[in-house]
Amino acid sequence: MRQELLSLLEEKTGAVASVAGWLWQRGWAERNAGNISVRLDKGKQLSSHDQSKTPALALPKRFSTLAGSLLLVTGTNTRMRDVADLPRENILLIRINDEGDGYHILPRAEMTRLRPTSELATHLCIHEMLAAKRPDHSVVMHTHVTELIALTQIKDLCDEEKLNRTLLGMHPETSVFIPAGVGFVPYSLPGTIAIGEATVKALENHAVALWEKHGVFATGPEPEETFDMIDLLAKSASIWFLCRSAGYDPEGLSVSQLDGLTKLKF
Ligand code: 2HA
Ligand code: ZN
């Protein structure tokens, strides 16, 4: 592989490892919970000579837009705390084949029998949408944010408008940085194309999708910024629960307070 691609891999692997450690520290990554992928568009041109000789592993559908793409993906059954400590043993590099219906695992010195995350289908559905509509976003992150999952256990809040009124009203920063709020994805079986497609729909107009009773999927230009979006939402949800557990209904920012924030630049 060319030197340029190797440096890019090193840089992105390090960035994923740092954020994986934060997910674990925040308590959002019990056991093997969560997964991260990074699309390396630059690698697309650089990798044309690095075709794997082994047969492609099948994908559940054809991802034409991603044909030839290189992606870093956390491995299935890996722990985020291990991704943080030993990134090269827990993150793999895959190349989508030229037909877009399979992928090759590219050899990296430290890799063993690692296979991509069980949520690969959703990651690829999202990357396909990002490559076409938001090409500066190359990171997809899934994590089990306790407070946000807890919100979706309240039937009344399983409504996108109510959910976003609650989240954006809890803290000015959330409404400044995530003005469109979250896209709500009703419960569906994880790991399937169906939930992948529902998540894409939610992410077309939102930076973060909230899976009912499961967790979040967020996108961003870099792992750190992607984490920040999730962190802001977690803060809002925590404030809401803190008020509720102290026995009162939080007032929330008023419409005019929210309006004032739309003009702010940080
Ligand atoms: O990677 O979080 O949704 C494990 C999961 C599945
Ligand atoms: Zn999950």
Q: Provide the CATH number for the domain around residue 15.
A: 3.40.225.10
Q: In the chain, pLDDT over 90 holds for what percent of residues?
A: 88
CA distance 173 to 255: 15
> Ligand 1 pocket: which of 30, 31, 118, 123 to mutate (most atoms <8 Å of CB)?
118
Question: For the purposes of burial, counting CB atoms within 10 Å of the CB of 170, is it exposed (0-12), middle (13-18) or buried (19 or more)?
Answer: buried
266 inside domain: no
244 band by pLDDT with thresholds 50, 70 and 90: very high
Owning domain of residue 113: 3-261
| Ligand 1 closest atom vs CA 76 | 1
User: Which residue in 119, 128, 147, 222 is the catalytic one?
Assistant: 119
Q: Which atom of ligand 1 is nearest to the CA of 118?
A: 1
- pLDDT tens-place string over residues 107-154: 877 767 899 999 999 999 999 999 999 999 999 999 999 999 999 999
Q: Is 119 a catalytic residue?
A: yes
Mean per-residue pLDDT of the chain: 94
**Is residue 142 a contact partner of residue 226, using CB atoms and an 8 Å limit?**
no
Residue 81: the pLDDT is 98
Helices marked H in 178-217: 193-204
pTM above 0.75, yes or no: yes
- Which tens digit of pLDDT belongs to each residue from 79-108? 999 999 999 999 999 999 999 999 999 987
What's the CA-to-centroid distance between 172 and ligand 2, angstroms?
A: 28
* d(C-alpha 114, C-alpha 121), whole Å: 17
d(CA 100, CA 116): 16
Tally of domains in the chain: 1
Query: What's the 17 CA to ligand 2 centre distance in angstroms?
Result: 18
